[in-house]
Amino acid sequence: MKYLSALNPKDIQNKVCLVRLDFNTEDDWRMNASVPTLKKLLNQARAIVILSHKGRPNGIEPKLSLRKEAKRLQQLLKKNVIFITDFQFANIRERIQKGPKGTIFLLENLRFQKGEGENDPDFAKALSGLGDIYINDAFSVSHRANASVAAITQFLPSYAGLALELEIKNLTKAMQQAKQPLIMVLGGAKIDKKLLIFKNLSGKVSFFLIGGLLNEQILQQKDKKLILPIDFIKENGQILDIGPKTAALFAQYIKKAKTIIWNGPVGKIEEKQFTQGTHVIARAIAENTKAFRIVGGGETVMFLKKLKLDKKINFISTGGGAMLDFLAGKELPGITAL
């Protein structure tokens, strides 16, 4: 894989750089993660054209437009960002060519176009015609075979951005060079991925602390490394949070860990009364300063940010599903394509 950090500045000089980012977050933390890549390119590039998405639109949905993100990025970089509202590629190319050196463009939500989700090579080729080189700095969508993530690499010299490089290096370090005991906390609703990770990493992880949405597949697993809840907070037969005994038990395992990986809340945190378990987990991880700690998943990261604990974590992954797939040993289309 070719990394942007190893790219000679001369190879960027006067080039139009297409950069795949992910603005699909509640606030701008993923946007912030891309700033080092954008600043590196701004020093040399002829222009930067940002490709991104938001939500899961069915056709064009104005509420999922990236217009607000263009304004936020402009404030972040303290530089004008030109927002392009259509996909008239000939006109867009002309605007890019006429713009002064160092101009930043942001295209409208790519998921407004069918070809994006279908990994359509024709749509990817049309996108590629806007630039000279391609940089993927969106780890969080690299598990999806989308046109702007996978197919586009067939048409342009392609590189991993600085944030994507950090993701690969930190997640690999956590798995291959982990200080023991290595504790993995898995919450959220992606049960199939929890099982895949358990099977893939059972030889490397000391203990798996499992919360979030549980089903019989998980609860019937018999393994000393799998630490399941011993009490729940239930409503209408559904488990909505781990109970206080489980939270205290999980905290004890976290306290002794030397490496911690956390993905997914252990309760239905969108409702305040079911946040207590996740709160205990977050505090325990933040307080274990002797451990190397990685946290990922949009809900989990936002929860940490609201508690003002995100700065106490060694590495915040921008990926949710992508992080789980990477840890499960699955090939990520966006990374394979590079």
257-296 residue pLDDT tens: 999 999 999 999 999 999 999 999 999 999 999 999 999 9
What architecture (CATH level 2) is domain 178-327?
3-Layer(aba) Sandwich (3.40)
Q: Is the pLDDT of residue 299 over 80?
A: yes
Q: Is the pLDDT assigned to residue 316 strictly greater than 60?
A: yes
pLDDT band of residue 215 (cuts 50, 70, 90) is low
Residue 298: band (very low, low, confident or very high) from pLDDT cuts 50, 70, 90:
confident
Digit-coded pLDDT (tens) for 150-200: 999 999 999 999 999 999 999 998 888 889 999 999 988 776 777 788 888
Give domain 4-164's CATH architecture.
3-Layer(aba) Sandwich (3.40)
pLDDT tens column, 83-106: 999 999 999 999 999 999 999 999
* Domain spans in the chain, listed from the N-terminal domain onward: 4-164, 178-327
Q: How many CB atoms lie within 10 A of CB 124?
A: 24
pLDDT at 218 over 70: no
Average pLDDT of the chain is 92
3-state SS, residue 79: coil
DSSP E strands, 75-227? 81-84, 103-107, 133-136, 158-160, 182-186, 207-210, 226-227
Q: Is 312 helix (H, G, I), strand (E, B) or coil?
A: helix
